[in-house]
Structure 1
Amino acid sequence: MKLLALDTSSEGCSAALLVDGEISERFELAPRGHTRLLMPMVRELLLAQGLVPADLDVLAFACGPGSFTGLRIATGVVQGLAWGLDIPVVPVSSLEAVALGAIETLDIPGHSIPGHSGIAVAFDARMGEVYWGCFECRAGIPVLLGEEQVCLPSDVALPSGPDHWYGVGQGWQYRSGMPSAITGQVETIDEALVLRASWVARLAAIGYRQGKAVPAEQAQPVYIRDEVAWKKLPGR
């Protein structure tokens, strides 16, 4: 399988190419450079593997939540490529992808039995709120507990189940406003962890095998917060 994954949902811009289980990636921290950087990254990845777009089997992208403008960039590119190549798309939750990144970079043990670990992902949603999603690590893969949501830091909650919790994402910069009962359960916090397309690619490959691919017109961003709220933010 040849899978191309893209992410422009946060301050990082990245593209990853999964070919027969091996991943190559281009990544750059460039909050205002997504439009300029994304397609050159794609071309570099394909060229390095001796491939052309027509060789791709499936596309994937981080569908949100995240920056309104950033989500639209990746969505537009993926839809255009999918239409032109007549191949499907696997949307991947941005929160879930960062949870996978935490599992890989923080070396969190994953179990399907008592003693498993939880990952609480928080993104800065602006307007004093955070995007919040809680996952448990099962055999090295994040599994969503409950629902992803947007809320005030004071309203975040951890579901029952995991014995150990890890917090990741830039939304944890607001942990002083979170309930002490929540922050007291979190053993490690990494607010600098930035989403990477390689994590999107790994989850998309699983999703593709599970039949989660959709046609181009159904590849849509997930804002969680409604679009009107985003329009109130200049430059977003």
Structure 2
Amino acid sequence: MKYNLLALDASTEALSLALSYNNKIYRHFEECPQQHSQKILPLIERILSDAGCQLKDLDGLVFGRGPGSFTGVRIGVAVAQGLAYSGNLQLVGVSTLQAMAQQAFAQTNAQQVLVAIDARMGEVYLCNYTRGENNQAVALAEETVIKPELIEGDYQGILAVGTGWQTYSDVAEKLSLDVNAEITLPHAKYMLSTGAEQFEAGQVVNAADAQPQYVRDTVTWKKLPGRE
């Protein structure tokens, strides 16, 4: 890969990091609900140390911009901003749903993939992707949050990934989806290629302009006790 990039994602119960440095990839992935804020900085230090590099050696940062948990998305964006300020680096945000589609295209021969992450409150974050040039995942519609039973369309035989299809397996069966149970949460590794393309195209932002993508209205989310 042409660019030396650090990608991070904390938008779901998974905490994921990936570093592309001198054409070698270092990565970390673990499911650690509600522990992201304690673990993310030490893990970033470790992955940089493993690669023998420092922030100043990077060309930029890639962050998972959501959708996902409001708290997790905020943690990811805030950490990315802090690192960008510290290293005088620019950033790009990558959709967590797109990252999962990117993984599906990397690991299967599918030409289309329907991604759904469990959004709680009886809803899923949803987006449909097709395989584009250079195997990049291209969204066929905007990301949305929706009650699974309201999903409409002809998806028979389409590959489906994400925790949404485990939670709502009855809907997946009704839609005749081909569910891949191995791809359930976003991996930062699959944000690197998209991030590199955005850097190549100059589609970067400064730390102050890094923005999350919540999809769901925060006011609605906060009505559920214990969530924010």
TM-score normalized by structure 2? 0.90
Q: Which residue of the partner structure matches residue 116 of structure 2?
A: 122
Q: How do 1:163-182 residues align onto structure 2 when only pairs under 5 Å count?
A: 165-172=158-165, 173-177=167-171, 180=174
Show structure 2 runs of 5+ residues with no match. Answer: none
Residue 143 of structure 1 pairs with residue 138 of structure 2:
yes
Q: Which residue of 1 aligns with 2:219?
A: 228
Partner of 2:29: 27
Q: Aligned equivalents of 1:20 and 1:226: distance in 2?
A: 40
The change in CA–CA distance for 1:191 and 1:150 in structure 2 (over 3 A counts) is farther
Shift of 1:108: 2.1
| Structure 1 counterpart of 2:179 | 188
8 Å CA contact 1:9, 1:66 repeated in 2: yes
Task: Name structure 1 gaps, 5 residues minimum.
Answer: 110-116
Do residues 81 (structure 1) and 83 (structure 2) align?
Answer: yes
Of residues 137-146 and 85-94 in structure 1, the stretch that sits farther from structure 2 once superposed is 137-146
Q: Which residue of 2 aligns with 1:209?
A: 200
Is 1:197 the counterpart of 2:182? The answer is no
Normalising by structure 1, what TM-score?
Answer: 0.87
Partners of 2:12 and 2:59 in 1: CA distance: 26
- Asked whether 1:108 is paired with 2:99, we answer no
Pair 193,177 (structure 1): closer, same or farther in 2 beyond 3 Å: closer
Shift of 1:104: 2.4
Q: State yes or no: 1:153 paired with 2:148.
A: yes
Instruction: Say if 1:9 and 1:63, in contact at 8 Å, map to a contact too.
Output: yes
* Distance of aligned partners of 1:164 and 1:80 in 2 relative to their CA distance in 1, 3 Å threshold: same
One-letter amino acid of the structure 1 residue matched with residue 144 of structure 2: Q
Aligned-residue RMSD, C-alpha: 2.0
Q: What corresponds to 1:112 in structure 2?
A: none
Structure showing the higher strand proportion among its residues? 1
Q: How far does residue 149 in structure 1 lie from its aligned partner after superposition?
A: 0.5
Cα offset, 1:40, TM superposition: 1.3
What's the CA shift for 1:188? 3.4
Question: CA separation of 1:65/1:191 partners in 2, compared to 1, >3 Å: closer, same or farther?
Answer: farther
| Count, aligned residues | 223
Distance 2:75 2:159 in 1: 30
**Identity among equivalent pairs (%):** 37
